[in-house]
């Protein structure tokens, strides 16, 4: 009887490990897909501007993009602290740093929306005669959609800590959240630098 129970426990653990590996693999596939999408958009922008129709965005990028960059970099730091707290089973610290990261993610969202308002104030609209300017909205808009997804993932981690889910599940959620959020951080830095280099 005990041997059967032990075998069932082992099989359950192995099954859980397979599921976790599959989830992490799917996340990697998703991030590779996102990277390829933004690489394709970058190539499209370069080909379009090289055609001579429109040479660059032809407008200054909003200063709020700089603030957004600072905010998302700090959010990666606070998430790393939450990640370390999770691995140390310091749940109070984990909750605090997760809340900080979520707040910074929301601030990033607000700053991006404000940046669009600045752009429209400068006469740069999503639909206009200069498709290079439309690319700014496409790049930032798609990234912002992924930020929303990232915030949902972070909130799920926070709820898990509040509900005191098993530590193994808590750490696994944090592993996925950290991987995805740091990817979004690096992706934004790439987008910002790319747009900055193609202002004119």
pLDDT for position 5: 56
Q: How many CA atoms within 13 Å lie on the side-chain side of 24?
A: 14
The per-residue b/e assignment along 55-89, b for 16 or more CB within 10 angstroms, e otherwise, is eebebebbebbebbbebbebbbebbebbbebbeee
- C-alpha separations of 26 from 22, 91, 112 in Å: 6, 27, 28
How far, in Å, CA of 114 to CA of 40, rounded? 26
How far, in Å, CA of 197 to CA of 200, rounded? 8
pTM over 0.85: yes
Residues of the chain with pLDDT under 50: none
Q: Which of 9, 148, 185, 169 is nearest to 89 (CA)?
A: 169
pLDDT for position 127: 85
DSSP state of 125: -
How far, in Å, CA of 42 to CA of 155, rounded? 31
CATH number, domain containing residue 123: 1.20.120.80
Would you give the distance in Å from CA 193 to the centre of its chain?
17
- Residue pair 180/75 in contact by the 8 Å Cβ criterion: no
Give the structural domain span for 30. Answer: 2-197
The tally of domains found in the chain comes to 1
| pLDDT one-digit tens code per residue, 94-142 | 999 999 999 999 999 999 999 999 999 988 888 887 888 899 999 999 9
């Amino acid at each position: 009887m005990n041997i059967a129970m032990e075998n069932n426990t082992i099989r359950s653990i192995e099954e859980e490990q397979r599921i976790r590996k599959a989830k992490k693999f799917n996340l990697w596939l998703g991030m590779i897909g996102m990277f390829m999408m933004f690489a394709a958009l970058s190539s499209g922008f370069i080909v379009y501007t090289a055609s001579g129709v429109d040479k660059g965005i032809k407008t200054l990028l909003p200063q709020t993009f700089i603030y957004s960059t600072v905010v998302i970099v700090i959010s990666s730091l606070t998430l790393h602290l939450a990640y370390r707290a999770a691995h140390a089973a310091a749940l109070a610290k984990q909750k605090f740093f997760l809340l900080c990261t979520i707040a910074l993610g929301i601030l990033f969202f607000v700053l991006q929306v404000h940046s669009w308002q600045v752009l429209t104030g400068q006469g740069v609209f999503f639909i206009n005669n200069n498709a290079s300017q439309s690319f700014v909205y496409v790049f930032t808009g798609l990234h912002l959609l992924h930020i929303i997804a990232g915030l949902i993932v972070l909130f799920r981690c926070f709820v898990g800590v509040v509900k005191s889910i098993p530590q193994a599940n808590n750490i696994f959620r944090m592993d996925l959240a950290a991987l995805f959020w740091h990817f979004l951080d690096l992706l934004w830095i790439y987008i910002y630098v790319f747009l900055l280099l193609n202002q004119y």
